[in-house]
Homo-oligomer: A and B are copies of this chain.
């Protein structure tokens, strides 16, 4: 009984925490970190400012928590996929699927996400940078190990597995960004096969003929 009571309080607290983060996410993704005030978040979450500061040390901390939470969610999904007992190429196909689906569901978030892990992020936010990078690296490393598996099984060419991982991530992100900026060009959604095809087979029509293609036309 006592436990139940405690649990209810804790559940309430956790629920409030989530509500604040959700309100913050909406505002941050819509306006960017610097263009959102704590008052706005409080208002949207229907709490007082003081309550925000009971949950988070400061604005940075709130932001930090928000980004890392989403990133971890993404990371867990991808780890589950990459760890599956499936052929290498199928795992990679699923990885691409996941990326498209996850960011499709969080399209506006992708911007804030990249603003943090790639773009402007300085001074005080260096810890976030560090933490976010760590998670991203873990994902990259995990893809790389799948790539290595592919190389050893002679499915992939004998290339640096990490380079393969970067390539996959790069193509995914380029398509994601473009579909985000011009959603009208992808009426039925971004197709994972396109990315998969480009990643696996490359651009060339006739690989055996590369030298010739380079010199003369």
Contacts and interface: CB of A to CB of B under 8 A. Distances in A.
Interface in A27-77: 30-35
Interface in A97-115: 111-115
Contacts of A30: 122
A90 interface: yes
A99 to B, nearest CB: 12
Contact of A156 (B113, B119, B173, B203): B203
Contact of A120 (B93, B119, B160, B202): B119
Contacts of A120: 32-33, 111-112, 115, 119-120
A170 B190 CA distance: 15
Contacts of A175: 163, 166, 170
A1 interface: no
A164 B203 contact: yes
Contacts of A157: 201, 203-205
Contacts of A147: 203
Interface residues of A, number: 67
A87 B211 CA distance: 12
A12 interface: no
Interface string A171-205: 11111011001000000000000100111111111
A35 to B, nearest CB: 6
Nearest to A90: B214
Contacts of A217: 87-88, 153, 155
10 contacts: A32-B123, A155-B205, A157-B201, A160-B194, A166-B174, A169-B174, A173-B173, A199-B203, A200-B202, A200-B203
